[in-house]
Amino acid sequence: MKDTTKETYNRIAKDWAKDHESDVWWIEGTDKFLSFLQKGNSILDVGCGAGHKSKYFADRGFGVVGIDFSEEMVKISSEHLLEGIFFVKDVHEPLGFEKSFDAVFAKAVLLHVAKKDINAILENLLTVLKQGGYLYVAVKETRPGDKEEEIATENDYGYEYERFFSYFTMDELRGYLSNAGLEVIYETITVSGKKNWIQVVAQK
C-alpha cells in the first residue's frame, strides 16, 4: 500500500509537478500558518513533493528543509530550489534529525497514511518539532457515504497508476491532533475541484 504509493509518485513525479504548479487552494491556510512564525524560523516541509511550498517559504524569509519518500520528487525539489536542503525520508520511520524545527508543514501527507498508523506518524513529526512550535496539516474531507480509505486507480496523465488515500472529517482530525497533545488554533475547509480540503494549524 505505502510502497505502491511511493512507486506511483516516483513514476508520475514530472507530470505531477507540472500539474500542481498552479494550485492555489492551500495559500490561505498556509499564510495563516506562517503568521504564527517569525522570519528566519525553521520549517520542515514534510512530503515536499516538487518543492513548490519549500520555495514559497524560502521566498518569505524562512529556513526550510524538505523531505519526501519519493526519490524522484526530492530530485525535482532540489532542482526547483537550488539553495534548498532536501532528504529522502519516510514518515513511517523516525526522521533522524539532530535539530528540531520551529514548525512542521504536512500538506497532503496524512491522506496517504492508513488511519491505524496516524498516531505513530504524528509522534514521529512531533519528535522534531520544538515545544511551542506549530504543525500545519491538510487532508481531504470525507463526506457521508464516501469511503474512509481506498486504493484509487487514476489516469490523469495518459496512463494508469494507483495511490492509497485516507479521508477525514474535521472532528476526526481534531481528535488525532488532540490525542497527540496538540492544541488546534486555526481550521478551515477549502473547496478545490471535487474534494474539500481540511486545513488545520495546531500548537505543541
User: 2-203: which CATH number, 3.40.50.720, 1.10.10.410, 3.40.50.150, 3.40.50.920?
Assistant: 3.40.50.150
- The C-alpha atoms of residue 61 and residue 40 are separated, in whole angstroms, by 6
Q: What is the pLDDT of residues 49-94, one digit of tens each?
A: 999 999 999 999 999 999 999 999 999 999 888 788 999 999 999 9
SS (HEC) of 75-91: HHHHHHCCCCEEEECCC
Check residue 155 and report its DSSP letter: -
Predicted pLDDT of residue 1: 62
Of 170 and 143, the structure prediction assigns the larger pLDDT to 170
> Would you list the domain boundaries of the chain?
2-203
- pTM beyond 0.75: yes
